[in-house]
Every structure is written in structure tokens, then in C-alpha cells.
Amino acid sequence: MRCPYCRHADSRVVDSREADDGQLIRRRRSCPECGKRFTTVEEAVLAVVKRSGVTEPFSRTKIMSGVRKACQGRPVDEDAIAVLAQRVEETIRAKGAAEVPSHEVGLAILVPLRELDQVAYLRFASVYKSFDSLDEFEREITALREATTAREAAVRHAVATRSGGRAPKINS
């Protein structure tokens, strides 16, 4: 690694430390020419393989801009988008592969986006799944409705079960 101070072509590692749960390695280096010290960070590159076969580094920023576009005009703030992008990255990294097909990234976005905002989800899904007819929107909306109804029913059931049983009488 070239010294950033004097541009000397070589440097010596004086300390290596893992950071970010082992995803990064920080190295403290010393320049044998000018004696100054500097830090380098090493990170394994997670590559996304596009349909065309071209690979590009995974980018959380790119995920965020895609999701932001889908969320235009929706009551979703920047923080929520950042959290979503982080979840996507965690999902992708948890697969433990160095290369991930782009459609898996899309899928990893759809799941949390559906929880975040259903309209944004539909917009994103229509592009990602390349809907080309109203039928496909209709199917997706039906699925969304069913999922919502099921969730509401589950909540109602949980509430009913909790309040249905007689409260234990204390001391009488």
C-alpha cells in the first residue's frame, strides 16, 4: 500500500484489527520512508450478478435510491428507507455467498417493503416482476389483501385468547 504522505510505494503493517463483526479489517501501517502512520480498511466485496452476467459491487445506496423511488409521495421517511436497506444487506450477507444474483436482491427488498408500505411494494413489485397486465396487478393486490386479512385475524385471535380466559382470582 502506497504511503498517502510521501507516496512511497511500500508500507509495513504494524497492527491488524477486525471491525464490524469481522466484516472489515483495519490495518495500521507505517511508512519506512517518512515514518508516518496511516490506516487502511479491507472489506470483502459482495458482488451482485446482473441478468446480463455483469457483476457490480453490492451497494446499499443503490438499494435506497430504488426504494426511495418506489416510496415517492408515500408517508415513508428516510430513516425507514435506511433501515430497510440495512435489513436487505443483512439478509444478503447472511447467505454467506460472495456473489448474489440481482433477483435475490430484489426479493430481499420486497419482503420488508411489503411491511413498510403496500403501495410502494406494489410499485416496486410491478417493476421487479415486470408486470405487463392488469391481471398481474390484480393478483398481487389480492395476495396483499389476503395477507392483511390473515394478519388482522391473527391479531384478533391473539387478543381474544388473551381476554377470553378468566383472570385468575387472587386470594379469596
Cα 40 to chain centroid distance, Å, stands at: 25
Helices (H), 2-98: 60-70, 78-94
Among 25, 26, 30, 33, indicate the residue that binds Zn ion (CB under 5 A).
33
Q: How far is the CB of 38 from Zn ion (least distance, A)?
A: 8
Among 34, 153, 155, 158, indicate the residue that binds Zn ion (CB under 5 A).
34
Tell me the three cell numbers of residue 17: 484489527
**Mind giving me the DSSP string for 101-132?**
EHHHHHHHHHHHHHHH-HHHHHHHHHHHTT--
Tell me the C-alpha distance between 34 and 29, whole Å: 12
Annotate each residue in 2-31 with x if it binds Zn ion (CB under 5 A) or - if it does not, as one string. Answer: -x-xx-x----------------------x
Number of residues that bind Zn ion (CB under 5 A): 7
Q: Is the separation of the CB atoms in 9 and 2 below 8 Å?
A: yes
- Interface segment toward Zn ion; rule CB under 5 A; list 12-20, 22-30, 34-42, 67-75: 34-42
Q: Which of residues 30 and 55 has its CB atom nearest to Zn ion in the complex? A: 30
| Residue whose cell numbers read 443483512 | 90
- Interface segment toward Zn ion; rule CB under 5 A; list 33-41, 85-93, 151-159, 160-168: 33-41
Where do contacts with Zn ion occur on this chain (CB under 5 A)?
3, 5-6, 8, 31, 33-34
